[in-house]
């Protein structure tokens, strides 16, 4: 396991740099590095040549030697010149926050699309930094543990800019083809008329856990639901690939639930751009479920980061429900209406649901049913209650309405099948000839 030295800078710009530095340590651990030392500095503005002051550079160099670290990680994005200068002065591989996040994405990508997206982002970031990154990438390519088996963008470090740009063009073409395939799949899902709900939020807030909870409780088939579960782990960016699953609660509208990649503070711009097609699931959803780690003291900052990222994606206009997850891990006084509750009885008292938010625990499967109710309320705005009498000759209509509507009652009469149901406005108009009475 590689030993890392973290470097944080407090610029007095209102950001909680200690929280950011702690998060950087979690990112390093996600790359299976051991954080052995930390260096901090307060500056009015960054040093153009080294980001940190020249005196601090010497301190960091001595600390790196003393602690025998393998890599030095800065909690900010470094310019190509800063990367090169630090590399020469510190004589250790240098990584910045963006490079570290890109490393994690490269490790976790599983689908062909995710691998292409990550490689595009990595090459875009590497191009202007080839000199400074050379030693850091050599370390990654030759390591005997966590940093081996990297993406194709760093397999041959001697590649010059022209070859990298050629590779980028090739990747973009492949990514465009994959994007077209995804768009075709998305259009096919839209044809079903089934509502779309997307999970968004800060990384490690519990999105995958919530998706698995819904599959377990409301999957169409118990065995099938178990196979369709995604990996859930208490780790930053445990999952990257977008997953879409059908959720069919009894007596509620069925919907398609998608789990998107998590967000994080200072998420590399290139990465957001590369994952644009994947994140279209959020932009085109009928409802967004922003999953929040309510047990994190900085959850409000994480909400702000998520909202800013959604704004960049053009998805900030989609109706949203706030899911305050891991509420069982906080003090009862922090929960609306639960002050004074005995800690041992907190789970039984959850959830506390409001119009657009809910406090719950996806891991303990507490509050999932109430969340379904909130989703139903949000979705029901475009639905109509009606009664239809469908002749036995049109079995296809009966089948369609059973799948795409919420059928409250079914009666088999001499004239046909009478359904009391709630259906979409479009279906109401399409099958209006079967209405028992004008609504």
What confidence tens digit (pLDDT) does each residue in 403-418 have?
888 888 999 999 999 9
Cα–Cα distance for residue pair 124/269, rounded to 1 Å? 10
pLDDT at residue 358, rounded to an integer: 93
pLDDT at residue 127, rounded to an integer: 76
Say what percent of the chain tops pLDDT 90: 31
Give which of 394, 398, 416 is closest to 407, Cα–Cα: 398
Cα–Cα distance for residue pair 110/140, rounded to 1 Å? 19
pLDDT greater than 80 at residue 437: no
Say what percent of the chain tops pLDDT 70: 84
Q: Return the structure tokens found at 336.
A: 């609306």
CB 51 within 8 A of CB 9: yes
Instruction: Please tell me which residue, 89 or 176, carries the higher pLDDT value.
Output: 89
pLDDT at residue 192, rounded to an integer: 63
pLDDT greater than 80 at residue 390: yes
pLDDT greater than 70 at residue 170: yes
Cα–Cα distance for residue pair 355/47, rounded to 1 Å? 48
pLDDT at residue 135, rounded to an integer: 52
Place of tokens 């309405």: 401
Q: What is the mean pLDDT of residues 411-434?
A: 89
Model pTM score: 0.76
What confidence tens digit (pLDDT) does each residue in 139-152 have?
544 443 444 444 44
Place 101 in a pLDDT band, splitting at 50, 70 and 90. Answer: confident
192: Cβ–Cβ under 8 A, 6 or more apart, which residues?
Answer: 404
CB 198 within 8 A of CB 281: yes
Q: Up-side HSE of residue 186: CA atoms within 13 Å toward CB?
A: 20
Length of the chain: 439
Q: Return the structure tokens found at 416.
A: 């046909």
Q: Return the structure tokens found at 213.
A: 């909870």
| DSSP states of 70-109 | SEEEESSPPPHHHHHHHHHHH-S-EEEHHHHHHHHHHHH-
Q: Up-side HSE of residue 48: CA atoms within 13 Å toward CB?
A: 0
Cα–Cα distance for residue pair 232/212, rounded to 1 Å? 8
Strand order in the sheet with 33-42: 33-42, 2-10, 71-74, 94-96
Q: Return the structure tokens found at 229.
A: 């579960």
Top-confidence range, 93-107, 121-135, 172-186, 198-212: 198-212
Q: What is the mean pLDDT of residues 240-249?
A: 81
CB 207 within 8 A of CB 199: yes
| DSSP states of 303-361 | HHHHHHHHHHHT-TTS-EEEEEE-GGGS-GGGSTT-TT--GGGHHHH--EE-SSEEE-B
Place of tokens 């994190």: 296
Place 133 in a pLDDT band, splitting at 50, 70 and 90. Answer: low
Give which of 120, 61, 112 is closest to 90, Cα–Cα: 61
Place of tokens 């996040």: 101
Give which of 256, 219, 276, 211 is closest to 238, Cα–Cα: 211
pLDDT at residue 403, rounded to an integer: 81
Cα–Cα distance for residue pair 22/334, rounded to 1 Å? 24
pLDDT greater than 80 at residue 239: no
pLDDT at residue 54, rounded to an integer: 92
What confidence tens digit (pLDDT) does each residue in 312-369 have?
888 888 889 999 999 999 988 888 888 888 777 787 888 888 778 999 999 999 999 9
Give kind and range of the element (H or E) at residue 225: helix 222-227
Identify the DSSP state of 259: E
CB 401 within 8 A of CB 409: no
Q: What is the mean pLDDT of residues 194-221?
A: 87
pLDDT at residue 130, rounded to an integer: 62
Place 15 in a pLDDT band, splitting at 50, 70 and 90. Answer: low
What confidence tens digit (pLDDT) does each residue in 263-307 have?
888 777 777 766 666 677 788 888 999 999 999 988 998 999 899
Q: What is the mean pLDDT of the chain?
A: 82
Through-space distance between the first and last CA atoms of the chain, rounded to whole angstroms: 68
pLDDT greater than 60 at residue 99: yes
pLDDT greater than 80 at residue 249: yes
What confidence tens digit (pLDDT) does each residue in 27-60 have?
899 888 999 999 999 998 899 999 999 999 999 9
């Amino acid at each position: 396991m590689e030993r890392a030295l973290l470097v944080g800078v407090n610029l007095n710009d209102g950001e909680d740099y200690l929280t950011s530095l702690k998060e950087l340590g979690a990112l390093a651990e996600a790359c299976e590095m051991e954080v052995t030392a930390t260096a901090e500095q307060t500056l009015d503005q960054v040093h153009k040549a080294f980001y940190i002051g020249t005196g601090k550079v010497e301190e960091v160099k001595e600390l790196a030697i003393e602690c025998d670290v393998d890599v030095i990680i800065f909690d900010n994005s470094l310019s190509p010149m800063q990367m090169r200068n630090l590399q020469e002065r510190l004589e250790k591989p240098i990584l910045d926050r963006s490079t570290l996040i890109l490393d994690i994405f490269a490790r976790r990508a599983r689908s062909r699309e995710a691998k292409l997206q990550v490689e595009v982002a990595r090459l875009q970031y590497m191009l202007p930094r080839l000199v400074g990154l050379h030693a850091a990438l050599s370390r990654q390519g030759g390591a005997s543990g966590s940093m081996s088996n990297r993406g194709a963008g760093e397999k041959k470090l001697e590649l010059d800019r022209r070859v990298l740009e050629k590779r980028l063009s090739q990747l973009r073409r492949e990514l465009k083809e994959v994007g077209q395939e995804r768009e075709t799949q998305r259009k096919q899902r839209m044809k079903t008329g089934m509502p779309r709900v997307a999970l968004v939020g800060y990384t490690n807030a519990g999105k995958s856990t919530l998706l698995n909870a819904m599959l377990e409780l409301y999957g169409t088939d118990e065995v099938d639901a178990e196979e369709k579960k995604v990996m859930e782990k208490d780790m930053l960016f445990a999952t990257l690939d977008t997953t879409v699953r059908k959720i069919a609660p009894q007596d509620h509208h069925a919907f398609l639930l998608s789990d998107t990649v998590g967000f994080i503070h200072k998420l590399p711009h290139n990465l957001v751009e590369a994952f644009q097609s994947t994140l279209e699931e959020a932009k085109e959803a009928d409802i967004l479920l922003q999953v929040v780690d309510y047990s994190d003291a900085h959850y409000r900052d994480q909400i702000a980061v998520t909202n800013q990222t959604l704004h960049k994606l053009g998805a900030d206009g989609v109706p949203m429900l706030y899911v305050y997850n891991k509420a069982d891990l906080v003090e009862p006084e922090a929960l609306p209406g639960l002050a004074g509750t005995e800690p041992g009885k907190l789970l039984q008292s959850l959830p506390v649901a409001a119009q657009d938010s809910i406090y719950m625990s996806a891991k303990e499967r507490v509050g999932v049913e109430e969340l379904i109710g909130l989703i139903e309320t949000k979705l029901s705005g475009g639905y109509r209650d009606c009664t239809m009498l469908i002749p036995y000759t049109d079995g296809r209509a009966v089948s369609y309405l059973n799948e795409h509507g919420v059928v409250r009652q079914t009666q088999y009469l001499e004239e046909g099948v009478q359904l009391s149901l709630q259906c979409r406005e479009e279906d109401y108009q399409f099958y209006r000839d079967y209405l028992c009475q004008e609504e």
